[in-house]
């Protein structure tokens, strides 16, 4: 194919976030950063790509994410690299590499990449906010992490939501449970869905999560993990459930809640929005991954975290008409009919004093500048004509109400901005 007719556009499954929609993204990130920091989490940035082994070992070869969806490539130096398919493994790799003091609490906002079939609400590059806390298996930390996510949804106004919670057990109790589940599925394999009829044995837990009617029906009689937990896991789970209740957070127990990544242990949780369609109603989730640091070559270190897809949670906001963010408007629009130099100096002086001001460029006519001032949404026009420039003053005109304009000295305007942080 020739390049002649190629019209550059964002790759399939990706999207641009532009103003005014981007104002919501910005507000969302500010809310998340604020909340995360209140809970003791500090920002971390890790590379967008890692040695592919970070994800192979961390997430697991058998997982769909690594097996089918990961963007893997060989760089010019012959290294096998992969774009981050999810948030946790990279952060835990950074923990293992730098060995910070524990408990180590990190938050992030980052794109993740998966080669999925593009469809509404699913992207090949999607964005997440999340947290990871490493260094303790105290169930109170599970409660804090879940509470943080829950308050984030509150702050966005996502009220039609449900939190499901489960324990996936640990190396002491899970193997026996998985064996029992596998044996049960073996006895019913002919009744499973097409995919699981053959593949149930590889990861029997995935069958519990299968949405196909046949698998749902068969597993109704399957052994469930909640009855198979060892004393340690049962006690941990009891403390988490109790802590959430004490925090006033409703959580529905769901023994089918097994997360797709192999490193999860004990607590798993998922938030869903009842305002979104069933198959795509998950708006965030996470869990404990006490084996992950070790899988990445570090000392055995318990950890817990969650990831929240920004695109998906914004869809949930839309479905509830929540989190409507008006893009910021300038306080004033500078109209300069003397050539633009006075405007150049005034906007710089005001911006230096913390004021959001706008202006026109290209020495437009007064009429055209006032049109632009109206469009900007600014309540004030600061007019600079020949008289004003000569006398070192500025005329303030209210754009949204009938009132007399006033002319004040530039010194006074700047002093007001300096003192009060506003010129309104
Ligand atoms: Zn199935
Ligand atoms: Zn256990």
Tens of pLDDT, residue by residue over 50-87, are 999 999 998 887 778 888 999 999 999 999 999 999 99
pLDDT for res 87: 92
Ligand 2 center–CA 151 separation, angstroms: 29
Q: Which fold has domain 9-173+229-319?
A: BirA Bifunctional Protein; domain 2 (3.30.930)
Higher pLDDT, 413 or 65: 413
Q: Ligand 2 centre and the CA of 237: distance in Å?
A: 10
Domain boundaries along the sequence of the chain: 9-173+229-319, 332-420
% of the chain surpassing 70 pLDDT: 99
Q: Is the pLDDT of residue 1 over 60?
A: no
Tell me the CA–centroid distance for residue 126 and ligand 1, in Å.
26
What distance in angstroms lies between residue 181's CA and the mean position of ligand 1's atoms?
14
Minimum mean pLDDT among 70-84, 208-222, 373-387: which range?
Answer: 208-222
Tell me, in angstroms, the distance from the centre of ligand 2 to residue 228's CA: 8
* Ligand 1 centre distance from Cα of residue 187 (Å): 15
- pTM for the structure as a whole: 0.93
Tell me, in angstroms, the distance from the centre of ligand 1 to residue 213's CA.
8
| 170 CA from centroid of ligand 2 (Å) | 4
Residues 175 and 334 sit within 8 Å (Cβ to Cβ)? no
CA distance readout (Å), 115 to 121, 123, 188, 396: 14, 8, 33, 55
Using pLDDT thresholds of 50, 70 and 90, give the confidence band for residue 202: confident
Alpha-carbon distance of 169 to 387, in angstroms, equals 79
| Most distant CA atoms of the chain, gap in Å | 93
205 alpha carbon to ligand 2 midpoint, in Å?
16
Mean pLDDT value of segment 235-252: 98
Is pLDDT above 80 for 23?
Answer: yes
Tell me the pairing of strands 393-398 and 380-384.
antiparallel
- Report phi then psi at 60, rounded to 5: 110, 135
Q: How close is the Cα of 200 to the center of ligand 1, in Å?
A: 8
| Per-residue model confidence (pLDDT) at position 153 | 98
C-alpha 387 to ligand 2 mean position (Å)? 82
Report the pLDDT value the prediction gives residue 354, as an integer from 0 to 100.
Answer: 95
Q: How much distance in Å is there from the Cα of 268 to the middle of ligand 2?
A: 14
| The predicted structure's pLDDT at residue 2 | 65
Going from the Cα of 178 to the center of ligand 2, the distance in angstroms, rounded, reads 12
Question: How many A from CA of 294 to the centre of ligand 2?
Answer: 18
CA of 397 to the centre of ligand 1 (A): 68
Phi, psi of 80 (to 5 degrees): -90, 110
Q: Which of 135-144, 256-265, 356-365 has the lowest mean pLDDT?
A: 256-265
d(CA 217, ligand 1 centre) in Å:
10
Q: What pLDDT band is residue 242 in, cutting at 50, 70 and 90?
A: very high
Mean pLDDT of 196-203: 87
Say how many Å lie between the CA of residue 175 and the centre of ligand 2: 9
The residues placing their C-beta within 5 Å of ligand 1, an ion, are 193, 196, 210, 212, 215
If you measure from the C-alpha of residue 202 to the centroid of ligand 1, how many angstroms do you get, rounded to a whole number?
13
Q: Tell which CATH classification among 3.40.720.10, 3.30.1330.60, 3.40.50.620, 3.40.50.800 matches the domain 332-420.
A: 3.40.50.800
Tell me the per-residue pLDDT of 244-270, one tens digit each, with 9 for 90 and over: 999 999 999 999 998 756 678 999 999
Distance 72 CA to ligand 1 centre (A): 28
Which residue matches tokens 């966005």? 156
- How much is the pLDDT for 261? 61
Distances (CA, A) of 200 to 240, 241, 260, 315: 30, 30, 14, 33
CA 265–ligand 2 middle distance (angstroms): 9
Q: Which of 128-132, 262-266, 322-326, 412-416 has the lowest mean pLDDT?
A: 262-266
* Cβ–Cβ under 8 Å, residues 150 and 39: no
User: If you measure from the C-alpha of residue 288 to the centroid of ligand 2, how many angstroms do you get, rounded to a whole number?
Assistant: 13
Q: Percentage of the chain with pLDDT > 90? A: 86
* Residue-wise pLDDT tens digits, 82-130: 999 999 999 999 999 999 999 999 999 999 999 988 777 789 999 999 9
């Amino acid at each position: 194919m020739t390049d002649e007719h190629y019209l550059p556009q964002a790759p399939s499954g990706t999207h641009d976030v532009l103003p005014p929609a981007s104002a919501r993204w910005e507000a969302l990130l500010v809310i998340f950063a604020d909340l995360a920091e209140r809970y003791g989490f500090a920002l971390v940035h890790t590379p967008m790509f890692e040695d592919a082994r970070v994800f192979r070992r961390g997430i697991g070869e058998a997982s769909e994410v690594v097996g089918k969806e990961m963007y893997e490539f060989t760089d010019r130096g012959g290294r096998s690299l992969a774009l981050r398919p999810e948030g946790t493994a990279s952060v835990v790799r950074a923990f293992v590499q730098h060995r910070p003091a524990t408990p180590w609490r990190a938050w992030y906002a980052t794109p993740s990449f998966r080669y999925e079939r593009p469809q509404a609400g699913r992207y090949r590059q999607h964005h997440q906010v999340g947290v990871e806390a490493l260094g303790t298996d105290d169930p109170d930390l599970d409660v804090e992490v879940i509470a943080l996510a829950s308050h984030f949804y509150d702050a966005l106004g996502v009220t039609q939501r449900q939190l499901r919670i489960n324990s996936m057990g640990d190396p002491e109790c899970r193997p026996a449970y998985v064996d029992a589940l596998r044996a049960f599925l073996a006895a019913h394999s002919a009744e499973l869905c097409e995919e699981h009829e053959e593949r149930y044995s590889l990861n029997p837990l995935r069958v519990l999560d299968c949405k196909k009617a046949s698998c749902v029906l068969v597993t109704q009689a399957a052994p469930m993990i909640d009855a198979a937990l060892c004393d340690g896991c049962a006690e941990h789970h009891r403390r988490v459930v109790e802590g959430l209740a004490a925090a006033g957070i409703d959580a529905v127990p769901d023994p089918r809640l097994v997360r797709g990544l192999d490193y999860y242990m004990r607590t798993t949780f998922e938030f869903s929005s009842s305002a979104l369609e069933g198959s795509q109603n998950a708006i965030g989730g996470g869990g404990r991954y006490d084996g992950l640091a070790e899988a990445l070559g570090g000392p055995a270190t318990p950890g817990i975290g969650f990831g929240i897809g920004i695109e998906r949670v914004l869809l949930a906001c839309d479905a509830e008409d929540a989190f409507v963010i008006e893009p910021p408007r300038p306080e004033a629009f500078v109209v300069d009919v003397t050539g633009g130099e006075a405007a150049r100096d005034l906007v710089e002086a005001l911006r230096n004093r913390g004021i959001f001001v706008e202006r026109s460029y290209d020495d437009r006519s007064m009429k055209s500048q006032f049109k632009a001032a109206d469009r900007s949404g600014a309540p004030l026009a600061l007019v600079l004509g020949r008289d004003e420039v000569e006398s070192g003053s500025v005329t303030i005109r209210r754009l949204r109400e009938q009132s007399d304009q006033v002319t004040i000295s530039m010194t006074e305007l700047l002093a007001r901005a300096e003192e009060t942080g506003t010129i309104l």
